[in-house]
Amino acid sequence: MKKITVIGAGTMGNGIAHTFAQFGYNVHLVDLSEKVLDKGIETITRNLDRMVSKGSITEENKNNTLKNITSLTDLKKGVSGAELVVEAATENKDLKLKIFKNLNELCAPDTILATNTSSISITQIAAVVDQPENVIGMHFMNPVPIMKLVEVIKGYNTSDEVLEKIMDISKKLNKVPVEVNDYPGFVANRILMPMINEAIETLYNGVAGVQEIDTVMKLGMAHPMGPLQLADFIGLDVCLSILNVMYEGFKNPKYAPCPLLVNMVTAGKLGIKSGEGFYNYSKSRKAEEVSRMFQ
C-alpha cells in the first residue's frame, strides 16, 4: 500500500498527510479550498523545518516528504488510484456522511475508507457505502507527527482483514495502534471530554479561575497541559461537537455540555483557531508569551 488520499487539509488532515509522506507514502491531500490547501502545506513545511532544526530529520528527509505530497481540489482526481482514503474533515456527522457517499461513487470497490472521527459511529458512517466491510476508524491524535497513539475503531461490519491492514500501516508510521469498540467518543474522548467539561463547569461555578484550574491539574495530576488550555488547543467547537455526540448517543446527563462552553462557541470564542478561548492568543500578544502557556 503506497497511495494514500487524505481529505481535509486542516489541522488534522495536514498532520496526517505529513506523517504518511514522511514515511514514504505518495499522498494526495484534498480540500475544496485552495487557500486551506496552501495553508496546510505551509504548516507541514514549518513543522518539517522545526524537525530539521531539532535534528530529528535531515534536510533531505524534509524535501522528500514535501515531494510525496500533491494537493488537489478535485475529489475525483484526488482519490484516483488510492488504496487507502483517510477522511479528516470537520467533526460533523452530516458532512462526513456526504463525503463517504461521494467516496462510494468515486473509489474502487476494494479501497479502504478510514475516518479520523473522534466520536461519530463508524457503523453509521459505513452504512452509506456499498462495502461497509472496508470502512474503519483511524483516530490520530493532535499534533499527528508527534503523538504516538492511533485509536483503531472497527465498525459492526468492518472485516478482520481491513483491521489487520490498518493496524499494520499504523505501526509502519511509527505509531501505536490500539483497537477499541465502536461507541460514542470511543476511549480517548469518552474519558477526556467529561474531564474538560468538568473543568469548564468548575470555572462556570466560580470555584477557581482559568489559570488556577489548569495549574492544579498540571502540578497536582502531572498533566502536561491544563484541561482549559487543552480545550483551546483542540478547539472549543470541536469539544462541544464531541460532547453533543456522546450526549445524544448515551442520553446520559453527565455528557451534557456546560452552558459556558455553549455560549463561548456561540460567541465565536473557539480557542487558538479564533485567537481567543479561555486564553487570549491575539496577535498583539508576544508569541513567546503564548508559547510559554503550552510548555
Contacts of 228 (CB under 8 A, 6+ apart): 196, 199, 200, 203, 210, 213, 214, 277, 278, 279
Q: How many angstroms from the chain centroid is the CA of residue 97?
A: 17
Residue by residue, DSSP assigns 78-121 as: HHTT-SEEEE---S-HHHHHHHHHHHHHHS-TT-EEEE--SSS-
Indicate which residues carry an active-site annotation.
Answer: 118, 139, 151, 189
> Checking phi first, is residue 257 left (phi over 0); if not, alpha (psi -120 to 50) or beta?
beta
What stretches of the chain adopt beta strand conformation (E)? 3-7, 26-30, 69-72, 84-87, 112-115, 135-140, 149-154, 176-181
